[in-house]
Structures are given as structure tokens and as C-alpha cells.
């Protein structure tokens, strides 16, 4: 069953077959990782969003989990509805993934749901990475201010350079990092 935009319930044999009988769909349990290209596409899409830390409505489409933008928007609204994404902030909370996740996101196949969970955990790791970079930047900004107060212009310049390098590190694609994942 699914709801139409006007609120009526409809039955879909396709959704039933995809979710009740996953053997008919592509469901390789070992193939749930996102490729480097998919991670890069997701990363580049998120950098264009007003709040890059909050998953955008087309994130699943850009990561190759959904086949079209409409389905990606449906998945996004489901994630908002089950509070995996905060309503006000849009930030991810993977603790909200429950045993009912498959029923909460019925728009995609079981295999795509597994990839979606991988995407959610990868993006949470990326969010943590950005927080660590932000924390390091604030530490270096304090050191730079202290060096300027002490009159050590050379050291202050080094701290400013380090802050700029950390800012660039935020935009390095997952495939270009030393570790291949986000």
C-alpha cells in the first residue's frame, strides 16, 4: 500500500514483489557499499546544497540509489517522517533507524534500502569529519590570535596557512583522500 499525493491509499503489486519477495529483485548482500564514483557524486551534490551537512532531497538519486529524482524526494520525505533527518536542521541521526526501516521506505527495493543505510552511515561519518576539521580550525584560530598578541607574525602566518589548508580539506572528494571512503 502507498499513499497518493491526495491522501488516498493504493495497492502496488510491484512494491509487494520488491519488498515481500526480494529474490526476484537484485539483492546481493555483499554489494551494499557505494562506489568511489557514487560517493563523489553525493559529495559534490551536497557541497552545492545551502547546508551541505544536511542530506538534500536528491542525495539518493545523485548517489545512484534511486533511478529518478521523484523517488529520491519520496525517500527523503520518508527519512524526515521517521526522524532520521531532523525536521528543522535536516541533520542525520542514524540512531533513528529502526527494525521497521524497510516499511518506512517502501519506495525502493530491499537492495537499494541496504545501500541507503550505507549512505546514511557514510554521510554521518562525513559530518563527523567536518566537525573535527571545524574544531581543529578553531584551535588554530585561537593559536593565531595568541601569536598575534605576542607579536610573533611568522607563527601567526603559519597558523593562518594551516587554517586555509583545513578549509580546503573540507572539499576534498572521497576518492582523492588517503582512505577511499568518506
Closest listed residue to residue 181, CA positions, set 33, 24, 13: 33
Q: Domain range holding 11? A: 2-126
Interval 93-138: pLDDT, tens: 999 999 999 899 988 988 899 999 999 999 999 999 999 999 999 9
Spatial CB neighbours of 145, under 8 Å, sequence gap ≥ 6: none
Measured CA to CA, the distance from residue 57 to residue 89 in angstroms comes to 13
Residues of the chain with pLDDT > 90, as a percent, come to: 68
- Whether 104 maps to a domain, the answer reads yes
Q: To 5 degrees, how large is the angle CA 129–CA 133–CA 138?
A: 150
In a domain? residue 169: no
**The total number of structural domains that make up the chain:** 1
**Within a domain: 150:** no
Sign of CA pseudo-dihedral 170, 176, 177, 180: positive
Give the pLDDT confidence of 3-29 residue by residue, as tens digits: 777 888 888 777 777 666 655 455 566
In the chain, what percentage of residues exceed pLDDT 70?
A: 89
Is 41 among the domain residues?
yes
Residue 93 lies in a domain: yes
Amino acid at each position: 500500500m502507498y499513499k497518493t499525493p491526495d491522501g488516498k491509499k493504493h495497492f502496488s503489486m510491484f512494491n509487494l514483489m520488491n519488498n515481500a519477495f526480494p529474490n526476484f529483485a537484485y539483492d546481493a548482500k555483499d554489494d551494499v557499499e557505494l562506489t568511489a564514483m557514487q560517493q563523489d557524486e553525493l559529495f559534490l551534490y551536497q557541497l552545492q546544497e545551502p547546508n551541505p551537512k544536511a542530506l538534500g532531497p536528491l542525495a539518493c538519486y545523485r548517489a545512484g540509489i534511486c533511478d529518478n529524482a521523484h523517488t529520491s524526494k519520496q525517500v527523503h520525505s520518508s527519512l524526515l517522517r521517521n526522524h532520521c533527518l531532523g525536521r528543522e536542521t535536516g541533520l542525520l541521526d542514524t540512531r533513528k533507524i529502526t527494525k521497521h526501516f524497510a516499511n518506512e521506505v517502501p519506495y525502493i527495493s530491499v537492495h537499494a534500502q541496504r545501500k541507503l543505510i550505507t549512505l546514511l552511515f557514510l554521510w554521518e561519518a562525513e559530518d563527523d569529519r567536518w566537525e573535527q576539521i571545524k574544531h581543529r580550525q578553531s584551535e588554530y584560530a585561537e593559536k593565531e590570535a595568541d601569536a598575534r598578541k605576542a607579536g610573533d607574525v611568522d607563527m601567526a602566518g603559519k597558523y593562518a596557512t594551516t587554517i586555509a589548508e583545513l578549509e580546503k580539506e573540507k572539499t576534498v572528494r572521497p576518492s582523492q583522500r588517503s582512505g577511499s571512503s568518506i
